[in-house]
């Protein structure tokens, strides 16, 4: 063996030793991971708890979302909002209404026509609660769960300010 051959061999051995060291390090890492896995399998409740917590948090988020949606639908559009809509349809939008529309496209319906639009949103599209009734005599909106009455004569709704005589008068008008 000449000296250069000896050097080559030494270099080769050094490379192999480095590779062995790398493999050993990798092996140690794998063994540690294996121990962690074995520990996990030996004590599943610790990990089950973690999985359970993640699941519960996700479940709670879903419930919160559903609740938010239901809360919105359980809080139907208020009487005052429908009244403001009625006024808007009649050509008197609220002064503080942020959305401005041009005077040329501002609706100017009669109160009866406005009430027909509201009726469509209630009975056909179910956008508005049908608890908001309008009085046949004065056209005012009211909450029929709290006030007002239905005439047996004409089967129409009247606010508390209008009694049976008004119902009779309104019948005569037609």
- Least separation in angstroms between residue 55's CB and Zn ion is 56
Asked if 143 and 115 touch (Cβ cutoff 8 Å), the reply is no
Residue of this chain nearest to Zn ion (CB atom): 135
Q: Is residue 159 involved in binding Zn ion (CB under 5 A)?
A: yes
Q: Pick between residue 89 and residue 159 the one whose CB is nearest to Zn ion.
A: 159
Q: Pick between residue 5 and residue 172 the one whose CB is nearest to Zn ion.
A: 172
Q: Is residue 157 involved in binding Zn ion (CB under 5 A)?
A: no
- Helices 111-119, 79-89: axis angle to 10 degrees equals 130
Candidate ranges 41-49, 66-74, 75-83, 131-139; the one touching Zn ion (CB under 5 A): 131-139
Provide the 10 A C-beta neighbour count for residue 109. 15
Q: Is residue 162 involved in binding Zn ion (CB under 5 A)?
A: yes
Return the residue of 82, 114, 137, 157 that touches Zn ion, per CB under 5 A. Answer: 137
Q: How far apart are alpha carbons 147 and 139 in whole angstroms? A: 15
Q: How far apart are alpha carbons 82 and 70 in whole angstroms? A: 21
Q: Is residue 138 involved in binding Zn ion (CB under 5 A)?
A: yes
Return the residue of 135, 141, 157, 167 that touches Zn ion, per CB under 5 A. Answer: 135
Provide the 10 A C-beta neighbour count for residue 43. 10
Element (H, E) at 134: strand 132-134
Contact residues for Zn ion, defined by CB under 5 A: 135, 137-138, 159, 161-162
């Amino acid at each position: 063996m000449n000296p250069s051959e000896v050097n080559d061999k030494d270099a080769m051995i050094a490379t192999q030793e480095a590779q062995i060291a790398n493999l050993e390090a990798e092996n140690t890492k794998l063994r540690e991971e294996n121990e962690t896995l074995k520990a996990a399998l030996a004590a599943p409740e610790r990990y089950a708890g973690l999985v359970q917590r993640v699941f519960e948090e996700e479940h709670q988020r879903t419930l919160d979302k559903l609740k938010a949606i239901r809360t919105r639908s359980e809080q139907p559009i208020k009487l005052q909002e429908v009244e403001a809509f009625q006024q808007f349809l009649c050509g008197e939008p609220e002064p503080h209404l942020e959305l401005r529309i041009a005077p040329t496209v501002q609706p100017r319906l009669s109160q009866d026509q406005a009430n027909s639009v509201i009726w469509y949103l209630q009975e056909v599209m179910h956008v508005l609660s049908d608890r908001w009734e309008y009085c046949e005599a004065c056209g005012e909106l009211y909450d029929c769960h709290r006030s007002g009455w239905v005439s047996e004569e004409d089967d129409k709704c009247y606010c508390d300010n209008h009694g049976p005589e008004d119902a009779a008068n309104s019948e005569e008008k037609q």
